[in-house]
C-alpha cells in the first residue's frame, strides 16, 4: 500500500472518529430539581415579554395559541416554532419541569439534542428557578392541541444538529446580567428585560457569517433579518440623535406610535402587537431608561445599510 493511500485512510479514520466524538459529545448540564410553586399570572406575563405566544402561534392560519408558529425563513433555512401546548405527543405535556428548564435556559431538548438558535434561548439563560416555575405553571393551563409542527426545512450541512455543538462553543458566550450596584433599580430592571426576556438584541445586533451575534456591536442594528428586513441601531447615541426620550420610547413600545405620529412597521409592529403592549408602564419605562443609557460603548458606525432604516421599522 502506497504512503499516500495510507495517509488518506488514516485521515479518513481520524475524520470519522472526530464526527463520532462530536455526535456523542454531551452538552449543557442537568438542572437541579425545581420544587417551588409557580404563579400563573407572573408566568403569563413573562411569556408575553419573552415572545413565546407570538412566536409559537400561527396567526396566519388562525391556529390555537401556542400550537406552533409560522415558518421563520432565514439564510440557513426555514424554521418552524414547535407546539407548546399540553398535548403529550406533539407538545410539552409529557415533559417534566426540569426538562422544560433545560430547554428554556440551555436550548437542549428532553432527548439531549441542541435546539437551533432560531429559538432565542441564549437570552433566557439567566431566568431564575422562580421564573421557570412561573412559566411552567402558565403553560400547564394551555389546552392540548394534537398538531405536529412541520419539520424544519434546512439543507446540508445545517441540518446536522451535532454541528450545533460547535456553534455553541463558538458563539454561546453572553455577557453577565447580574444587577449593577451603581445603577438604579429601574435601570437594572430595564437591562434585565432588554437583554433577557424581550431579547432586543436578537434583531438589533448584527450577526457574523455563522449566525452568532457580534457582541462588540450590541444594538448597532442589523440588515440581515428574515424577509430582507432591517433593524436600525438602538444604541443610546442613535436613539438620542433621533429624539427618543424615556417617555416617548415607552409610549411607542406600548402603542407602536412614534414621536412623529408615524407607526412602527415590519417586524417591530408585530413585536408591539404581540409582546410589548402587554407590559406594564413601569417595565416599558425601565426598558427605555436602560436603552437610552446603555452599558456598552457606542460603535463608530452601524452595520452597513442599517442607517437607512427609519424609526418606523425600529
Domain locations in the chain as residue ranges: 40-171, 185-313
pLDDT digits (tens, 9 = 90+) for 48-78: 999 999 999 998 888 999 999 999 888 889 9
In order of 60, 81, 109, 211, 216, the CA distances from 166 in angstroms are 35, 22, 17, 12, 21
- Contacts (Cβ under 8 Å, ≥6 apart) of 297: none
CA angle 303-118-109, nearest 5°? 150
CA 55 and chain centroid, separation: 10
Q: Are 284 and 276 in contact (CB under 8 A)?
A: yes
Element (H, E) at 18: helix 3-24
CATH for 185-313 (1.10.287, 1.10.10, 1.10.760, 3.10.20): 1.10.760
The residues that bridge with 222 in the sheet, in sequence order, are 231
| DSSP annotation of 153 | B
pTM over 0.85: no
From first to last of its 314 residues, the chain has per-residue pLDDT tens of 554 443 444 343 333 333 333 344 456 677 788 999 999 999 999 999 999 999 999 988 889 999 999 998 888 899 999 999 999 999 999 999 999 999 999 999 999 999 999 999 999 999 999 999 999 999 999 999 999 999 999 988 877 888 888 989 888 876 566 889 999 999 999 999 999 999 999 999 999 888 889 988 999 999 877 767 789 999 999 999 999 999 999 999 999 999 989 999 888 999 999 999 999 999 999 999 999 998 754 343 333 333 334 444 45
Residue-wise DSSP of 204-229: HS-B-TTS-B-TTSTTS-EEEEGGGE
The residues that bridge with 263 in the sheet, in sequence order, are 257
Amino acid at each position: 500500500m502506497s504512503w499516500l493511500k495510507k495517509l488518506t485512510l488514516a485521515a479518513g479514520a481520524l475524520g470519522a472518529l472526530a464526527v463520532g466524538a462530536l455526535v456523542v459529545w454531551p452538552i449543557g448540564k442537568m438542572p437541579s430539581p425545581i420544587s417551588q410553586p409557580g404563579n400563573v399570572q407572573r408566568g403569563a406575563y413573562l411569556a408575553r415579554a419573552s415572545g413565546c405566544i407570538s412566536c409559537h402561534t400561527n396567526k396566519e392560519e388562525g391556529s390555537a395559541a401556542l400550537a406552533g408558529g409560522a415558518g421563520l425563513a432565514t439564510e440557513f433555512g426555514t424554521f418552524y416554532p414547535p407546539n407548546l401546548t399540553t398535548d403529550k405527543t406533539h407538545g410539552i405535556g409529557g415533559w417534566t419541569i426540569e426538562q422544560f428548564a433545560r430547554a428554556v435556559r440551555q436550548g437542549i431538548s428532553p432527548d439531549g439534542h441542541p435546539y437551533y438558535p432560531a429559538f432565542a434561548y441564549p437570552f433566557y439563560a439567566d431566568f431564575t428557578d422562580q421564573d421557570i416555575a412561573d412559566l411552567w405553571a402558565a403553560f400547564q393551563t394551555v389546552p392540548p392541541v394534537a398538531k405536529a409542527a412541520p419539520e424544519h426545512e434546512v439543507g446540508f450541512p445545517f441540518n446536522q444538529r451535532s454541528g450545533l455543538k460547535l456553534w455553541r462553543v463558538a458563539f454561546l458566550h453572553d455577557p453577565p446580567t447580574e444587577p449593577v450596584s451603581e445603577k438604579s433599580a429601574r435601570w437594572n430592571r430595564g437591562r434585565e428585560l432588554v437583554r433577557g426576556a424581550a431579547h432586543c438584541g436578537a434583531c438589533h445586533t448584527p450577526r457574523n457569517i455563522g449566525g452568532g451575534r457580534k457582541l462588540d456591536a450590541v444594538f448597532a442594528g442589523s440588515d440581515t433579518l428574515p424577509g430582507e428586513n432591517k433593524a436600525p441601531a438602538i444604541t443610546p447615541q442613535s436613539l438620542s440623535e433621533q429624539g427618543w426620550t424615556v417617555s416617548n420610547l415607552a409610549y411607542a413600545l406600548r402603542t407602536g406610535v412614534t414621536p412623529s405620529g408615524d407607526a412602527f412597521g415590519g417586524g417591530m409592529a408585530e413585536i408591539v402587537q404581540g409582546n410589548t403592549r402587554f407590559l406594564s408602564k413601569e417595565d416599558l419605562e425601565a426598558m427605555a431608561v436602560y436603552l437610552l443609557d446603555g452599558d456598552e460603548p457606542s460603535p463608530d458606525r452601524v452595520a452597513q445599510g442599517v442607517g437607512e432604516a427609519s424609526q418606523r421599522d425600529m
